[in-house]
Amino acid sequence: MHRAAMLAMGLCAPVPVAAQAAPAPAQEDVARLTRLVEQQQAQIARLEARLATIEAQESRAMATAANPAPGPAPLGQPLPSDAHPAAPPQLASPSPPRPQIRQPAPLGQSLPSDAHPPSLDARLARIEQAQKQGVQVDWSKGTPEFTSADGKFSFRPRGRILVDAATTGGSNLPARNVTGTTARSLRVGFEGSIGRHLSYLLEGDFADNDVAIKSAYLAWTTRFLGQQTEFALGNRLNDRGLDGSSGTISVPFLERNFVGQGIIPVRGFFGLGAAARVYGDGWHVGVQLSGDDINNPGTESDGLTIGARAHWNPVKTADWLVHLGAWGFRERIAADASRPTRSIAVGGFFNDNLRIAPGTFTGARSGTGYGLELGTFHKSLWAYGEYGRRRIESRTGAATDQSAWAVQAGWFLTGETPPYLTRGGVWSRPKVLRPFTSGGRGAIELATRYEELDYSDNPTAGRGTALTLGVNWYLNNFVRLQLNAIDWTVANPAQNAGASDHGRTLIGRAQIAF
């Protein structure tokens, strides 16, 4: 910049002299112009020399500022030694990113449930997305889900690992005061879809020292009378109560409540047969016709069970949901069913000595059961109750009645909405706002439950109650740590002289379901 300015001044300085010179002959003019050019050249040379000197001085000053002359090291800061290397240079910390605003999932719209797969609209949206993006792999569920370029085929491996550790104390029966661990469920399988309407699922499970096939079915999802409808063939979870229709990995406590566990047909939670479900806006109706469980030995003719369930959300706003439900079943019991009633674990599945006894009831011919559901959900709070009743009749005309009820409530301290799905009226898994595995705190839920089961209309069967306090910590959408403290009372005629026994169980679980 200095060089340009001084050159311009040097060029402009002689101009007035030339302009004021008197006219002369041509030769004198040429001579005068020649002298002027020579003067300008000399002046330019002097200016360049001066500029070079100035630039050299500026360069030396900048170098000195950047690299000052070494001085004595500060006390305690000599050169680093081999035994104690210098700390690595600290990079300037980048400015923190602007916090992302995370909103809880709308009430009733949590992650899809295993018991009620995604809707037809969701499947069509996935197909359209795949057609735009080509072959894709989605890891959002914990395992890779592969989708073809045209979106018509998908495949995903799936499974679960549930490991429990528990201790029981305070019982009058020493055999019940045990501490142990167990693999509650180790399950592996796969699921997928073919085209817009057909889907499939197959799972095998190791639990309670036994291997069994669980879900194994084909489903066709379409529209019927303007409503989304699903038809299924195979072995699938019954649609029976809020807890009973939900998977173990989804209910708020380590196990389903007494209604879901105890008021149940002989076939159990699963049945091999046909099912149909119709879904509306905040309601659904499902029916199922099935024989025995797929793992039943083939020594006698199967029993036959027809069951139905309906739910309705009469209140459905941004902050409030109300759940109403009813279900029932009628069963013809197979001749080889030696025990038509299930023994119910009170303090976790690890302790086989702590159960409500089913008693004996020979010659069971048929059974009838029904139940009612009422629940409400408000922002991060939830509460609901269930009641169920069952009657078993024998071939000789004898009968026995069974009943159960449960009330429970919970609160997500971290702001998530309860993992309840209006599609099917079932529990699913919460959409964690700040996953622990991504640097957040996860989702924390407090829950409590009181329940009662009474088989004692049968003189050989028992009854029991349980009060449970629970804490759930969801590290992300598919990993959960649980802790349940249970205060229980059990009375079995064949144990403790029929008197009530009281104790406490503390049980924890690590769960990953993908």
- The 10s digit of each residue's pLDDT in 229-276 is 999 999 999 999 999 999 999 999 999 999 999 999 998 999 899 999
Task: State the pLDDT at residue 114.
Answer: 61
Report how far residue 157's alpha carbon sits from residue 476's, in angstroms, rounded to the nearest whole number.
Answer: 19
> What is the chain's mean pLDDT, rounded?
84
Task: State the pLDDT at residue 336.
Answer: 84
Task: State the pLDDT at residue 92.
Answer: 44
Both structure tokens of 447: 């829950």
Report how far residue 197's alpha carbon sits from residue 190's, in angstroms, rounded to the nearest whole number.
Answer: 17
Chain centroid to Cα 499, Å, comes to 43
Report how far residue 67's alpha carbon sits from residue 70's, in angstroms, rounded to the nearest whole number.
Answer: 8
* 500: pLDDT strictly greater than 90: yes
In the structure, what pLDDT confidence band is assigned to residue 70 with cuts at 50, 70 and 90?
very low
Question: Which residues, at least 6 apart from 67, have a Cβ–Cβ distance to it below 8 Å?
Answer: none
- Looking at 118-122, 135-139, 189-193, 324-328, which range is the least confident one? 118-122
* pLDDT, average across residues 180-187: 93
In the structure, what pLDDT confidence band is assigned to residue 78 with cuts at 50, 70 and 90?
very low
* pLDDT, average across residues 182-205: 93
111 against 70, higher pLDDT? 111
Quickly list DSSP for 101-138.
Answer: P--PPPTTB-SPPSSSPPPHHHHHHHHHHHHHH-SEEE
Task: State the pLDDT at residue 401.
Answer: 97
Both structure tokens of 404: 């159960």
* pLDDT, average across residues 443-452: 98
In the structure, what pLDDT confidence band is assigned to residue 372 with cuts at 50, 70 and 90?
very high
Task: State the pLDDT at residue 189.
Answer: 95
* 337: pLDDT strictly greater than 90: no
389 against 148, higher pLDDT? 389
String of b and e for 87-117 (b: at least 16 CB within 10 Å)? eeeeeeeeeeeeeeeeebbebbebbbbbbbb
In the structure, what pLDDT confidence band is assigned to residue 439 with cuts at 50, 70 and 90?
very high
Q: How many residues does the chain have?
A: 514
Task: State the pLDDT at residue 347.
Answer: 86
In the structure, what pLDDT confidence band is assigned to residue 47 with cuts at 50, 70 and 90?
low
- DSSP 3-state of 5: helix
Query: What confidence tens digit (pLDDT) does each residue in 108-134 have?
Result: 776 666 666 666 666 566 666 665 666
* pLDDT, average across residues 393-401: 94
pLDDT > 70 in the chain, percent: 77
* pLDDT, average across residues 26-42: 69
Query: What confidence tens digit (pLDDT) does each residue in 284-321 have?
Result: 999 999 998 787 777 778 899 999 999 999 999 999 99
Q: Interhelix angle for 2-12 vs 26-66, to 10°?
A: 160
495 against 297, higher pLDDT? 495
* 97: pLDDT strictly greater than 60: no
* 23: pLDDT strictly greater than 60: no
* 52: pLDDT strictly greater than 70: no
Task: State the pLDDT at residue 105.
Answer: 77
Report how far residue 144's alpha carbon sits from residue 136's, in angstroms, rounded to the nearest whole number.
Answer: 10
* pLDDT, average across residues 426-450: 96
pLDDT > 90 in the chain, percent: 61
Query: What confidence tens digit (pLDDT) does each residue in 457-494 have?
Result: 999 999 999 999 999 999 999 999 999 999 999 999 98
Task: State the pLDDT at residue 241.
Answer: 96
* 182: pLDDT strictly greater than 70: yes
